[in-house]
Structure 1
């Protein structure tokens, strides 16, 4: 009887985890399509196959809680890739190279696709970043996975000549540049743009490095 109860509890726990994940993925898709404030909690619950229309509030407490959960869920998914990239950078003595660090921060997002093969996370993250108001470098209001945290610390050390609020502003700006190229080009007919996605990505990464690392030039007062 005890073993049976354990199995039942495990099944219930797995169902709860699966249900939360479905809500996270449904929220990501609908937020990407309709805006973070444009999708109702009822719509998200329905898309996730939840009969209880209060499922979002039950699991996440609020819309803001779901937004943070989406961000944290995707950040955790990218941790393994970032760890492998950090390892290679360490072996190659490239942990101070700006292009390498920015690739560690940005490129794992290429592999994040929703059930329809779209980059809904890129659209969601664009909206998330546009709402960020923190002046602290790398602070986006979510969790701090260790590999991402390390990559952000390396980037901050690389641009230590910038005030933290400038470095944060630039980090958001270059992230939006990357997300734009991902949403606009990836998975589409290359003939519509006159260049391949890889060519567009390479050019964008060069712009990102320059934009992140250029010296701060202020007009004299």
Structure 2
């Protein structure tokens, strides 16, 4: 792929991420994306990606490989002495570090927060998590179950899904505050607040009941 073509693809991805983050995925047309990217060719998305679904897929996949590598590095550093907090940090910190590396304003957290509310996009997201992060999730899940043996796998999966939504929501709000100039603290502060909160929810006692509601788990890139 030529340098010009790659720049055009990146411009389209950047434009789509910003517009999706601001207005929601279903509210943004292909034409508005191409115009925001600065091209007069309204078929540019089809030309560079094959279609809108393929553009969204690539946008979801953006930065995923870097996060996965970083997560593997953190898990390798755990050694033999670790606790639940260390394990949770391996899941959350790569996402926080990736957001911190982006210029201000950035749109990544807000885009992902919008994406999880669109059923068709959420289905693609779930497939991506299974395809690219399955081994990592299994490793982290096994370590978490080892650390909190009194919480069933079903409850653990459900709580992890809920926390994934909370992490995205908090990061999206902080990203918006950074853009507006009202953010307090740093991305690192956000990350460790979320680690503390996640540890609290994951390790919370389970109330014994004959019939118990367990919400379905929601795959997340976080």
Name the TM-score, length of structure 1 as normaliser: 0.71
Query: 2: CA distance between counterparts of 1:132 and 1:155?
Result: 26
Q: Is the 8 A contact 2:92 2:191 kept in 1?
A: no
Query: 2: CA distance between counterparts of 1:65 and 1:32?
Result: 18
Are residues 1:67 and 2:59 paired?
no
| 1:36-88 deviations in Å (ceiling 9; x for gaps) | 11111111112223332112223333333222111111212323432332232
| 1:144-169 deviations in Å (ceiling 9; x for gaps) | 686x4443112322248322xx5444
Change (3 A) 1:150 1:183: same
> Could you tell me which residue of structure 1 aligns to residue 117 of structure 2?
130
Are residues 1:211 and 2:201 paired?
yes
DSSP 3-state at the match of 1:141 = helix
> Could you tell me which residue of structure 1 aligns to residue 68 of structure 2?
79
Relative to structure 2, which stretch is displaced further, 57-66 or 195-204?
195-204
Compute the displacement of 1:126 (Å). Answer: 1.3
Q: Is the 8 A contact 1:170 1:212 kept in 2?
A: yes
Are residues 1:140 and 2:126 paired?
yes
Query: 2: CA distance between counterparts of 1:200 and 1:114?
Result: 14
The higher relative CO (CA closer than 8 Å, separation ≥ 6) is in: 2
Compute the displacement of 1:203 (Å). Answer: 3.5
Aligned mate of 2:137, from 152, 163, 166: 152
Query: 2: CA distance between counterparts of 1:145 and 1:72?
Result: 11
DSSP 3-state at the match of 2:105 = coil
Name the TM-score, length of structure 2 as normaliser: 0.70
Are residues 1:37 and 2:26 paired?
yes
Change (3 A) 1:23 1:40: same
Gapped regions of structure 2 (runs ≥ 5):
147-151, 212-222
Kindly report the root-mean-square deviation, in angstroms, between the aligned alpha carbons of the 2 structures.
Answer: 3.4
Q: Is the 8 A contact 1:41 1:63 kept in 2?
A: yes
Kindly name which structure, 1 or 2, has the bigger radius of gyration based on alpha carbons: 1
Change (3 A) 1:14 1:169: farther
Q: Is the 8 A contact 2:92 2:195 kept in 1?
A: no
Map residues 160-175 of structure 1 onto 2, 5 A cutoff.
Answer: 161-163=152-154, 166-175=155-164
Query: 2: CA distance between counterparts of 1:218 and 1:65?
Result: 45
Gapped regions of structure 1 (runs ≥ 5):
1-11
Are residues 1:98 and 2:87 paired?
no
Query: 2: CA distance between counterparts of 1:114 and 1:20?
Result: 21
Aligned mate of 1:202, from 188, 192, 195: 192
Query: 1: CA distance between counterparts of 2:101 and 2:3?
Result: 21
Compute the displacement of 1:121 (Å). Answer: 0.8
Are residues 1:120 and 2:107 paired?
yes
